[in-house]
Amino acid sequence: MNNLSFNGIAANAGVFLLYLCVCIGGAVSSPLNADSAQKGEDSVSQYSNTSSTPRCSDTVPVRDTLLSSDSLGEEPEGEDSSTAVEDDTATTGLVGADTTGTGSAGTDTAKTGAPLKPIRRTYPGISDEQDSLARELIRCIWMFEWDDAGKIGHKLQKLERKEHLPALSALLLTSACIIRIQNGEFANDQSEKICREDLDKIAKTGLALSDPSLSPDSLAATNLLIFGGIKGLCATLRIGQNPIAAAVEGLNALSLLEKCIALDSAITDAYLGLGVFYCSLSKASAFVRGALSLIGRPVSLDIGLTYLRRGAYQGRYTSTLAQVYLMEFLSPYQGDQILEINRIFKQFKTAYPANPYFLFLEIEENLCFHPEKAFDPSIRRTMRKKIVSFLGHDYSKTRYAMLIKWQYLLMDPFAAAPLRPDTTFQLREFSYYPVFLSALREKFMIPQFSSAPPALLERRIRFIRRTEARAQKLLLASGMSPGWKGFYAWHIRDALRMR
């Protein structure tokens, strides 16, 4: 990957497209490009066997007014998570962001740590009722309540048509479709086919309604955000099939977002795309970075993190998405950044307590990088309480609840029947996960055999290696998006590395 041709530069530039969703994302979770998904490793080395190194420099300070770093333990008594709101719970104390109002973000401001106050006003042309419905839609999307999200989206569309408002609904509904497709949030292939057909209709309508060339000056910045966001989102689905074409569309979307910020730097959702672009390519080879400098786009991790933090802690419609992506670029091995990751997880659990996706991601993070924390007794108590509340009829939530049960079985092999996973449940893209956990369990048991004969220890290590290879093979053969394949492949490799 370090020996990229010049054409490969454009392909790598397409990485940032995955982060242009302006309301949701995931693992989500927003899918990451395989070349940049590996937090803790060189972002352009997808399957290298080198040891992990931080993705983020020490010079970027951590936001100092985030929530408590006690992320995965039992929740404090009296905490009313139902009152959490996307904007109000995640927009205070931005560190290292531009405080001039010009939209610039340099390394000097990234090092000062000066907090930036949240921006509360709606965007030009967006009515209060429209904004309220949009935020309700975003919450349903992040709760993976897809049917409710569709109903609210339809209501939002009717309001926009009636009052001739900007097509914000098209951007948010496009994001909903993209996150479902990228995360594989479908019980069967037919459901995915229907979602893709809906996406085509929504995107075409949204692009026609938000065309910047036809926009009045008063709505220019808002329509640039909507048009550029939809363009970038749709391009993400082309990265695997035609990365060069996707990169061209991605660079065009980046230009649109920059124009949006130039017109109105308070449209903080536009900073998300910029942040991921700079973060992703700051880890590219010197050749790639040099080529970008020649075309007037020098990249810097400090600048990228500054942009991401602005979206994460000030974004009106992108706060959760930007926090997900910020978490991906922070190192799980550096103290301050570990604290920030934990605080982001705390925010997720507070804002979306009924979605098992975020708890699954947090436990996965700790199992792979901080197993001593994952096996804390308070964690098992939290998991036991949550497992029962997560069970439902929606496939997305049921699948992540089932994955949490698999995680719990690793921690407690003698778990009671209600806490044990249903081995007949179709995990689809995550069919590799039980295999990975079996290898991880074997690794965790190795210290118990420190005094065993060398031949026995070697036999157990060979079992771990065979099982790891099987898990990687299942993952790579699955229908998971390329970005998430790279992300979870790195987790498998790093978690099972014999240090």
The DSSP element (H or E) to which 245 belongs, if any, is helix 243-263
Give the angle subtended at the CA of 362 by the CAs of 461 and 367, to the nearest 5°. 15
Residue range 91-119, pLDDT digits in tens: 332 222 333 333 334 333 333 333 455 56
Residue 263: is its pLDDT beyond 90?
yes
pLDDT in the model for residue 120: 62
Say how far apart CA 310 and CA 320 lie, in whole Å.
12
Nearest to 231 by CA among 256, 197, 263: 256
pLDDT in the model for residue 252: 84
| Dihedral (CA of 48, 49, 50, 52) sign | positive
pLDDT in the model for residue 261: 95
Q: Which residues pair with 94 in a beta bridge?
A: 116
Which has more pLDDT, 346 or 52? 346
Q: Per the structure block, which two tokens stand in for 458?
A: 């070697």
Residue range 315-374, pLDDT digits in tens: 999 888 888 888 888 889 888 889 999 999 999 989 999 999 999 999 999 999 999 888
pLDDT in the model for residue 119: 60
Size of the chain in residues: 499
Residue range 124-138, pLDDT digits in tens: 999 999 999 999 999
pTM of the predicted structure, to 2 decimals: 0.75
Say how far apart CA 173 and CA 154 lie, in whole Å.
9
Residue 395 CA neighbour count, 13 Å, CB half: 17
Q: Which residues pair with 26 in a beta bridge?
A: 29
Residue range 395-411, pLDDT digits in tens: 999 999 999 999 999 99
pLDDT in the model for residue 30: 32
Tell me the C-alpha to C-alpha distance, in Å, between residue 77 and each of 73, 81, 434: 12, 11, 33
